[in-house]
Amino acid sequence: MFEMHFTVETWGRSVLLSGRLDARSAPDFEKAALAAVDEQPEKHLHMLLDFSGLEYISSAGLRSILVLAKRLSPSGGKVVLCGMSGVVEEVFGVSGFDSFLPVTKSREEALRLLGE
Amino acid sequence: MENTVRERVFPASLDLLVDIRAFILEEDGAEERLPPKRVAHLDVAIEEIVVNICSYAYETPPGELTIRVEEKPEFFAVDFLDNGVAFDPLAMDEPDVSLPLEKRDAGGLGILLVRRMMDEVHYSRKGTLNSLRIVVDTPRMP
């Protein structure tokens, strides 16, 4: 079970993810996220991924986030993550993804990082 | 708890990941005998190993994947047996997790997660079979 909700913001998109971001759902997330980037090719876009409802992530999920971050990076777009806990937080720690992507506890902190 | 062993053969197809996970963790109520944190670790390890086997083990997929679950009071172990090409995932170099975004790729992350989250991981080639065994220690309650 995986759900994602995209909200259009002045600075980009916030995405609420819930359930399991695994080998089955990660390709769908990657496709939807990259489509959102392609909607606004003329300006840089940030993406706030709210993980407070995410229960599980595997390397397939990490891969989709890496693809997204690499796509946004050349134009100055950031991927910021908030609200992770449990095994999701562990997976980010083990993989070192929390060292090159900004991770915050709360959504408010994430918005501050984006300058909003 | 009694010592138990259960074994089942699945087609090595990613479509069966849900069933394989259920066989290992839910059959016989296994996940209720393990701390939730360790169930989550097994959850990740099972996906990473099954994805690897389904993606790389067979030149003409799907082949067969035998799952053998061994429960003892001291440990919970799972053997993944496939007769695909010989492949030792533990022989691969671990990815450098300190690299910046521009230099990162996603290669090797799955097996890294398995190594860090399991208490033991063993690979052996048994005749025409690849055997990957993961073990979670389950110390007795005092």
Q: Which of A56, A63, A73 has the CB atom closest to B106's CB atom?
A: A63
> What backbone phi and psi angles, to 5 degrees, belong to B129?
-105, 135
Is the pLDDT confidence value at A42 over 80? no
> How is chain B split into domains, by residue range?
4-137
Pairwise CB contact (< 8 Å): B41 & A87: yes
Q: How many helices (H) and strands (E) does chain B have?
A: 3, 5
Pairwise CB contact (< 8 Å): A73 & B43: no
Is the pLDDT confidence value at A116 over 90? no
pLDDT at residue number B61: 62
Pairwise CB contact (< 8 Å): A66 & B104: yes
**A53 vs B142, residue with greater confidence:** A53
Q: Name the domain count of chain A.
A: 1
Q: Which of B17, B100, B116 has the CB atom closest to A94's CB atom?
A: B116
Q: Report domain B4-137's class.
A: alpha beta
pLDDT in tens, B40-55: 999 999 999 999 998 8
Q: Residue A36 belongs to a domain with what CATH number?
A: 3.30.750.24
Which structural domain range is residue A35 located in?
Answer: 2-113
Confidence label for B1 from pLDDT (cuts 50, 70 and 90) = low
**Contacts A–B by Cβ distance under 8 A:** 66
3-state secondary structure B54-106: HHHCCCCCCCEEEEEEEECCCEEEEEEEECCCCCCHHHCCCCCCCCCHHHCCC
In this structure, the number of other CB atoms found within 10 A of the CB of residue B63 comes to 16
CA distance B136 to chain A (A): 16
Pairwise CB contact (< 8 Å): A70 & B101: yes
